[in-house]
Structure 1
């Protein structure tokens, strides 16, 4: 009997050890044009986000996640783990020489899928080239409507819908199907949503939903933004319910964030004050996004973290969770220890090189900041705790104490990237058709102004 009990005990230890080593499923959801102020759990007062709030209540809610102010720059940083200064060439392009988390996680033995908004090149094989075995995307090979009666690409094959279908629902259907198909093995699903980007149109849950809409120019109204937030949250809830149904929720690492600030000028109420979306701006309302992480097997109760998180940090974090190799040239810092309740190695500052490279906007803004202070390469210096809108430049003010120490720290951070931009990136861009076209437009504009 003692021998039998001993075997049972040993078996229990082995099972426990195996369970601890089972790699988690990975789901990274990114909402489009969705700022920090939109989530109720963060202090938002204008929208209903019950599913995100529920994830936050039992997971980790980060208060200081910052990304780039615009869609493509953030996507490039997120997928490569590298600052834009190193590899960003122009809006709508991800250089095919880059290594993404899709390729890295696939190499670690995961099934990989991507669904939602692409916006990173029109090549038919782009998703597969960057490591995603299956895909359901909008704006991969073309740019049709994304909401009512959309056009999508399934594994590069174009498909148009004309019977009142709703794009975000179709993409969510793909996500649920991918999860169900791969439930027996570890999988990575990257889900860059189409919602809540303009045009602000009715959703199928809106009182004025019209399934005959075939243009993104119809039925646009600011009031529909709230409907779109609610529907986005509903899609998150639908995905979580599928994980529960399949019995794989416990060991699924689910990450949710926004890709940049809410659409410029979009009004909201946040912590008792009026708050306007700042997409495209390097101020807080353009870069501050929600970050909520849930992993029931590891996180047993809700926590709030003030640690600084960059969009470059997601690649090393999910690679660490998957046991995948992380390239030496990434700038990101894994925050997996913090997810496990450990101290980790929190960042002391965040760095950004931001250049839209969209239309004629070739400006560059480079800056470093921490939870309180912000320093631009130009020398402008701000106390964000008192001046989040960056109205009062302190660069000509005599500084002392905490402010002086922060400025010195941030200056040292900027100096690390003084020569980080490869000259060939801009040379290649200007040699391309897009570069010549933008240079010509810029020249005509300057001549006209003169």
Structure 2
């Protein structure tokens, strides 16, 4: 089918919700080609300040920037503070407190997983005729076969079950009683993929994505969940790994770990360029939605369990915290229709929104086909037509074990600088990571290079579409709009107060996105309102489903040194 015709009709059909009606007509097979392909790219532990479109000059991310500048930069997009909860929220459209997954990530040998009574995103899309694939990190449980990706709606899987592994050897480690237990963790569908040892993980997943696109049946929609392990740290003692040639190209970054991290980000950016170019070659790009986000902020504190030297600056906090640096994600959505009017969006979006939103974009009816008790909100029409967000509130988390909680609420007030309020109760890690980390500004950083964006693979692919691509002056304007600058007064360092460990803190995010000024003492009514809302959510909380490690039953030594399903 002509790509220009398909491109013009697909958003209209999706917005009007006519797919379900038309599917019963004789040309239902032709209708399938109108359903957009959907690619969700989830970076792992990438910081707000590690992409070019947020104003950082240090790490070149031209392919990501090209898509962001030609799409919609989601500057007000929130996720969960750590890996497993974010992935659970994305897959189910539910707050982790309603799944029992609001705590720390699932660890190797832990007999738990995303509860199987919940239908998840690939299952819904498969109902609409999608071919569904996952590459990279699952991290939603694997101790029983029913928790594996192929049993949860995916047609294929290449990746790791745990939260991290080596980038070349695919070994995952966990410390138990002072001893490291090590096992291989890379699977093709449900079989260990030893043959890939020695291939750099980001390149492996990129190559598999290109192959899936090349082999994809014409006329059938694709859902590709590209859940990169990059840029999470890997082994103890060898946290960061990247091809040495890429590391050497970034010598202006003096700190050696930060330089390797930058190389890892750069390789992930290359992967995005390869993917976009493959979609162009198959004439699939014009009818593909590409959503990019990070699962949480970077663990920029060097005393983290798995630090990666990322940067959330100037946002406060790190991975694991409820500060903006932990839960505000670098994100964008690209679709060919957005290219005619790219923008920086302040629409309020939470990661739970993507299940109903993408389901509607795929032609489903989120009002009739999805459970009524989802926490996610269908934002497709708001995004498509640049309307006000349908969300006015987001629960950031309630962790009953850490005794911490956070919530953001939008108030309907004529003053645009007093609409967005955030309440933080308690603190992750007893307040030790409540400050600002890893300000990477340096006179040694090169000037931002728009020509590098214009000449990258992704941008060149976009120029083949019907719509014009974004020019340099527009990119510069969008970059300025998407940049947060909080350097106006107080020094931003790791010991910043207030810590909110004794009493709740209140912040006005419209005026203070870096959470420097606690307004709780002078706004007791707002504090009470948000605190009462947290208490309502607390009543619906499902206790955390974490379990003690099942050792020696899960020990890789029992399964040819692989982290394997062990309970049947």
Give the TM-score band, short-chain normalised: 0.7 to 0.9
**Which has the larger share of strand?**
1
* 1:295 aligned onto 2:335: yes
Aligned to 1:201: 241
Q: What does residue 121 of structure 1 align with?
A: 141
Partner of 1:319: 359
- Is 1:245 aligned to residue 289 of structure 2? no
Is the Cα contact below 8 Å between 1:255 and 1:292 reproduced in 2?
A: yes
Q: Distance in 2 between matches of 1:33 and 1:51?
A: 19
Following superposition, the deviation at residue 294 of structure 1 comes to 0.7
Q: Secondary structure at the match of 1:26?
A: strand
Larger mean Cα displacement after TM superposition, 227-236 or 125-134: 125-134
TM-superposed CA distance for 1:413, in Å, is 4.0
Is the 8 Å Cα contact of residues 100 and 541 (structure 2) preserved in structure 1?
A: no
Contact 1:59-1:292 within 8 A present in 2 as well: yes
State how many pairs are aligned: 397
Is it true that 1:186 corresponds to 2:311 in the alignment? Answer: no
Q: What value does the CA root-mean-square deviation take over the aligned residues? A: 3.2
Per the normalisation by structure 1, the TM-score is 0.79
Name which of structure 1's ranges 261-270 and 42-51 shifts more when overlaid on structure 2: 261-270
Which residue of structure 2 aligns with residue 417 of structure 1? Answer: 537
Contact 1:77 1:311 survives alignment (8 Å): yes
Counterpart contact for 1:251–1:297, Cα < 8 Å? no
- Alignment check: 8 A CA contact 1:136 1:153 kept: yes
Kept in 2, the 8 Å contact 1:262–1:277? The answer is no
Per-residue displacement from partner, 1:187-220 (whole Å, max 9, x unpaired)? 11111111011122223642569xxxxxxxxxx8
Name the SS for the 1:171 alignment partner.
helix
Q: Return the TM-score normalized by structure 2.
A: 0.63
Partner of 2:500: none
Match of 1:23 in 2: 35
SS of the counterpart of 1:200?
coil
1:356-399, Cα deviation, whole Å (9 max, x unpaired): x9xxxx31422211474211456432234565554554333356
89-98 or 410-419, larger mean C-alpha shift? 410-419
Tell me the secondary structure at the aligned position of residue 38 of structure 1.
Answer: coil
Choose which of 262, 280, 286 in structure 2 pairs with 1:226.
262
Structure 1 residue aligned with 2:44: 32
Shift of 1:163: 6.0
Alignment of structure 1 residues 46-445 onto 2, 5 Å: 46-89=58-101, 91-92=105-106, 93-122=113-142, 123-124=144-145, 126-139=148-161, 145-150=165-170, 151-161=185-195, 164-184=198-218, 185-198=220-233, 199-203=239-243, 205-207=245-247, 221-265=257-301, 278-297=318-337, 299-324=339-364, 325-343=369-387, 345-355=389-399, 362-370=401-409, 372-376=420-424, 379-384=504-509, 388=513, 390=515, 392-398=517-523, 407=527, 410-411=530-531, 413-422=533-542, 425-426=543-544, 429=546, 432-434=547-549
Q: Distance in 1 between matches of 2:54 and 2:164?
A: 34
Q: Within 2, Cα distance between the matches of 1:394 and 1:380?
A: 7
Q: Which runs of 5+ in 2 are unaligned?
A: 14-33, 107-112, 171-184, 234-238, 250-255, 302-307, 410-418, 426-502, 551-568
Aligned partners of 1:149 and 1:161 also within 8 Å: no
